[in-house]
Structure 1
Amino acid sequence: MGVIGVIVSLALLMYLAYRGISVLVLAPALALFAALMSGGADAHLMATYTEIFMKSFAGYAKSYFPIFLLGAVFGKIMDDSGAAKAIAHTIAKKLGKDKAIAAVVLSCAILTYGGVSLFVVAFAVYPIATSLYKEADIPKRLIPGSIALGSFSFTMTALPGTPQIQNAIPMPYFGTDAYAAPVLGIIAAVLMCGGGLFWLSYRTKKAKGAGEGYGDHPDEVINKIDISELPSFWLSLAPIIIVLVLNFILGKMYFPGIDGSYLKDYGTELAKVKGIWSLIIALVISIIFTILTNLKRLKNTKKSVNQGAIGSLLAITNTCSEVGYGNVIKSLAAFAIIKGAILGISSNPLISEAISVNVLAGVTGSASGGMSIALAALGDQYLQMAKAAGISPEVLHRIATLACGGFDTLPHNGAVITLLGICGLTHKESYADIGMCSLIIPVCTLVIILILASFGIA
């Protein structure tokens, strides 16, 4: 009954989240349902809720809230200052309508690689994408796929150094930093980007061959951008460079060279926190730089910072709830059976990790949520298996990030729904291209990377 309870609980989590019920309500309720099914009359539901669910919730917030908070504030400042739009506009202008798809993908990629949130990127790039696609007479229905390729795939999970939360989550589990397994990450990024651009170009040629152009969209509402009010391209790009360079210097050079023995008094060690610390400092300095260089453009700096901070709360609490759910499941006797089944898929920890992270990301509709549940439940086991097999923790890190960016973008994913809403399109019109660029191609890439990792490439 316990295993059945866990399976039913997961199925309900996926279905009800798709129906629009908040994970904040679903996660604790379904975790307790699974506990009840597993323990029956002996299930201690209130203790499970306060001592397992909420303790895990708080622990995750303690580790990752600064990244969610600073990432959201940075994205809002980049948006309100016009820096995000300036980058997208300059790239679009330089590449022109003949390379409209590449311009949109590259604009999104630079912004997300610099730490700007996926949602801010979609809002910033969409008006520019519509202008380019109209001029090039490319079907509007391909815009979501282009934005998804640049935002939801290789810059989120593959490129070494990306400050997106998906690349930060494995750090405490494996003692790694944001630049883990750089060779595998770069290869994966090339495969995802190249495969996505090939697909979108093929779809464009096919549409034009059938006589389909941009299309008639009478309800389309686009806020025009006043170019004269935007900062320069290089000034706009500077905060992104600061994040990447500082993160690298601190994580690879500064923190590894200091004496972290004092951290024993705090119940941790330098290897587990250096990656998070590096990212926090890099984001703080970049935010300050962006504000100081855009004081005249930021109409209300306090409001921008506050809105960014408030906007981070739903994202972090949703993920914390999913982690709490995962830890409740982990505590059940039935989980031993499930754990054995997952680990029994393969004696190779990389394959087992890739499958568990991808499946849970698909169930929760969240890359960060699925990976957090999987690593909270099995991260220590995977690390032990990897050490026994002579596999670098950095490879575990990169496989986990790549795996979370696959099934997470099934149709019920919140980012997919938001993207379609921004573009004014439906699943029927555009999901095939979103799915190909952010699900099918990334999963195929993951398989290739697993093969390369088996040959010792990192």
Structure 2
Amino acid sequence: MSTIAIVISLLLLMFLAYRGISVLLLAPLLAMLAIVISGDAPLLLPTYTDTFMGAMSRYVFQFFPLFLLGALFGQLMADSGAAQAIANGIVNKLGTHHVVLTVVIACAVLTYGGVSLFVVAFAIFPISRELFRRANVPKRLIPATIALGSFTFTMTALPGTPAIQNAIPIPYYETNSFAAPGLGIIAGIIMLTLGTLYIQSRVRKAAAKGEGYGVEVAPHTTPADTDDIPASPNMSLGLALIPLVMVIALNALFTYAVFPSLDLGYISDAFENVSPSSQTGLWAILVALITSSAWLIITRWKHWADLKTTVNKGCIGSLLPIFNTASEVGYGAVIASLAGFAIIRDAVLTISDNPLISEAVAMSVLSGITGSSSGGLSIALQTLGSEYLAMAQAAGIDPELMHRVATLASGGMDTLPHSGAVITLLTICGLTHRQSYGNLAMVTIVLPLAALVSVITLGTLFGSF
């Protein structure tokens, strides 16, 4: 019954999330439903207060600074005019004859520089809409184009990306955000190249059929979008790129030069539960985001339309993403506590003698179930991270390779139809699953899985590099 309870609970989570019900409510309710069906109803309240809330609070404790600073930095980039300047600069360089590549690169530059993918979607959609209309390219391809630049290679593959997905494995494998850089770059090239070629092939096919842009549909707006905040004066492309370069450069500097040169033993003496080797990778990202945000604020000091509102919006904007993800982590902890989960865990662990394949399956399945790459990754590593590290050490596999495979795997099945990111993007674009999901799934599920297979193959043959 425990295994049946897990299946019923997960199916309901996927269905109800697809119907638009908040995971903040679904996660605890469906976790408790699994407890009741499994026959452990007397343990309902202690399971909620200890297991669910314990896992949820630990996740918030560990990753809230990254969510907070990432959202703040993204809002500063948007309201300073930097995001718009970068998008316009790329459009001016590439023109309207390469609309797909233009939008992909604009999204990639912003997300790799640390801007939230949701901020990017809101910022880039108006530009994408105008470019696609001018070029008479079907608007139904806009979500796939934005997703390729925002949800794929800059989120999971490129070394040093400040995305939360790239930070979650750090404390489990004692790695950093630049883990397995060569393999990450290869995976990124595969996703970018094949994704762009695929969307361009859809453009040519539509043109051959005489399909144009289509009938305009008003995009969705939220209270945050309609806040009447005057835009800051336009920035030059060079100035706009500086904070993005700072995020990546400072992250690398502190990861490879500053922290390794310091004797951090005193930290363990003062905080017995803190291991510097498992935290410096995360600390480097935080320092980079803090410094870059400060640079934006100070250098644009006389140009802010309403800095207080911008800062408040950025900070408040971090709350829903982290609590959604933390709720999914709490849900996963409850599911992992059930006897039936042991059957699932053993099946995943024994699916292959190669720890890379086993890990990839676990991350993909759990990310697909939760509809969240960060949620699935967190659940998988919290429940199976120590086992995978032990398996990797026994097989002589570099933890950096385990890190990169875990991150890449989390970014494949996470965009199933019930994914919050997918639903949000389609809503922003004023399109439906029926109109756009097929192409979006190709560039965010099929092609990332192909890149994952390539990295596992190369890693198995040549090791981490």
Do both proteins adopt the same fold according to a TM-score greater than 0.5, normalized to the shorter chain? yes
**How far 1:228 moved relative to its partner?**
9.7
Q: Which amino acid aligns with 2:240?
A: S
1:252 aligns with 256
Q: Does 1:12 align with 2:12?
A: yes
**How far 1:160 moved relative to its partner?**
0.4
SS at match of 2:445: helix
Q: Which amino acid aligns with 1:104?
A: V
Aligned residues: 455
2:37 aligns with 37
Q: Which amino acid aligns with 1:135?
A: R
Q: Which amino acid aligns with 1:358?
A: S
1:374 aligns with 380
Contact 2:79 2:231 in 1 (8 A): no
**How far 1:350 moved relative to its partner?**
1.0
Contact 1:5 1:34 in 2 (8 A): yes
Alpha-carbon distance change, 215 to 20 in structure 1, aligned in 2, over 3 angstroms = closer
**How far 1:66 moved relative to its partner?**
0.3
Q: Which blocks of at least 5 consecutive residues in structure 1 are unaligned?
A: none
**How far 1:260 moved relative to its partner?**
2.4
**2:235 maps to which of 214, 231, 235:** 231
Q: Does 1:341 align with 2:340?
A: no
**How far 1:33 moved relative to its partner?**
2.4
Q: Deviations over 1:346-366 (max 9, x none)?
A: 122111111111111111111
Contact 1:184 1:457 in 2 (8 A): no
Distance in structure 2 (CA, Å) of the matches to 1:207 and 1:78: 35
Distance in structure 1 (CA, Å) of the matches to 2:220 and 2:154: 28
**1:329 maps to which of 315, 325, 335:** 335
Q: Which amino acid aligns with 2:378?
A: S
Contact 2:172 2:386 in 1 (8 A): yes
2:167 aligns with 168
Contact 1:183 1:457 in 2 (8 A): no
1:144 aligns with 143
Q: Does 1:133 align with 2:132?
A: yes
2:370 aligns with 364
2:57 aligns with 58
1:201 aligns with 200
Distance in structure 2 (CA, Å) of the matches to 1:457 and 1:209: 45
Contact 2:36 2:44 in 1 (8 A): yes
Contact 1:168 1:276 in 2 (8 A): yes
Alpha-carbon distance change, 220 to 255 in structure 1, aligned in 2, over 3 angstroms = closer
Q: In terms of mean alpha carbon deviation, does 2-11 or 400-409 score higher? A: 2-11
SS at match of 1:229: coil
Q: Deviations over 1:116-137 (max 9, x none)?
A: 0011111111121122222222
Q: Deviations over 1:125-156 (max 9, x none)?
A: 11211222222221111111110100010001
Distance in structure 1 (CA, Å) of the matches to 2:214 and 2:26: 40
Query: Structure 1 length as normaliser, TM-score?
Result: 0.96
Q: Which amino acid aligns with 1:283?
A: L
Alpha-carbon distance change, 67 to 206 in structure 1, aligned in 2, over 3 angstroms = same
Query: Structure 2 length as normaliser, TM-score?
Result: 0.94
1:280 aligns with 286
1:116 aligns with 115
Q: Deviations over 1:191-218 (max 9, x none)?
A: 0000001101111111111111222326
Q: In terms of mean alpha carbon deviation, does 369-378 or 416-425 score higher? A: 416-425
Q: Which amino acid aligns with 1:45?
A: L
Contact 1:61 1:316 in 2 (8 A): yes
Distance in structure 2 (CA, Å) of the matches to 1:334 and 1:199: 41
2:307 aligns with 301
**How far 1:418 moved relative to its partner?**
1.4
1:386 aligns with 392
Contact 1:65 1:316 in 2 (8 A): yes
**2:440 maps to which of 434, 437, 450:** 434
Distance in structure 1 (CA, Å) of the matches to 2:288 and 2:218: 41
Distance in structure 2 (CA, Å) of the matches to 1:34 and 1:177: 36
Distance in structure 2 (CA, Å) of the matches to 1:417 and 1:5: 27
1:352 aligns with 358
Distance in structure 2 (CA, Å) of the matches to 1:259 and 1:331: 39
Contact 2:80 2:232 in 1 (8 A): no
Q: In terms of mean alpha carbon deviation, does 253-262 or 184-193 score higher? A: 253-262
Q: In terms of mean alpha carbon deviation, does 444-453 or 172-181 score higher? A: 444-453
Alpha-carbon distance change, 228 to 172 in structure 1, aligned in 2, over 3 angstroms = closer
Q: Does 1:312 align with 2:311?
A: no
Distance in structure 1 (CA, Å) of the matches to 2:209 and 2:171: 52
**How far 1:32 moved relative to its partner?**
2.2
Q: Which amino acid aligns with 2:40?
A: G
Distance in structure 1 (CA, Å) of the matches to 2:264 and 2:44: 40
2:427 aligns with 421
Cα root mean square deviation, aligned: 1.8
Distance in structure 2 (CA, Å) of the matches to 1:86 and 1:285: 21
Contact 1:365 1:414 in 2 (8 A): yes
Distance in structure 2 (CA, Å) of the matches to 1:237 and 1:253: 23
Distance in structure 1 (CA, Å) of the matches to 2:355 and 2:103: 37
Distance in structure 2 (CA, Å) of the matches to 1:350 and 1:408: 19
Alpha-carbon distance change, 110 to 267 in structure 1, aligned in 2, over 3 angstroms = same
Q: Which amino acid aligns with 1:317?
A: F
Q: Which amino acid aligns with 1:247?
A: N
1:21 aligns with 21
Distance in structure 1 (CA, Å) of the matches to 2:216 and 2:341: 50
SS at match of 1:67: helix
Contact 2:232 2:304 in 1 (8 A): no
Contact 2:81 2:231 in 1 (8 A): no
Q: Which amino acid aligns with 1:252?
A: Y
SS at match of 1:201: helix
Contact 2:366 2:377 in 1 (8 A): yes
Alpha-carbon distance change, 326 to 426 in structure 1, aligned in 2, over 3 angstroms = same
Q: Which amino acid aligns with 2:239?
A: L
**How far 1:220 moved relative to its partner?**
6.7
2:84 aligns with 85
Distance in structure 2 (CA, Å) of the matches to 1:329 and 1:365: 16
Contact 1:82 1:297 in 2 (8 A): no
SS at match of 2:195: helix
Distance in structure 1 (CA, Å) of the matches to 2:417 and 2:343: 30
**How far 1:256 moved relative to its partner?**
2.1
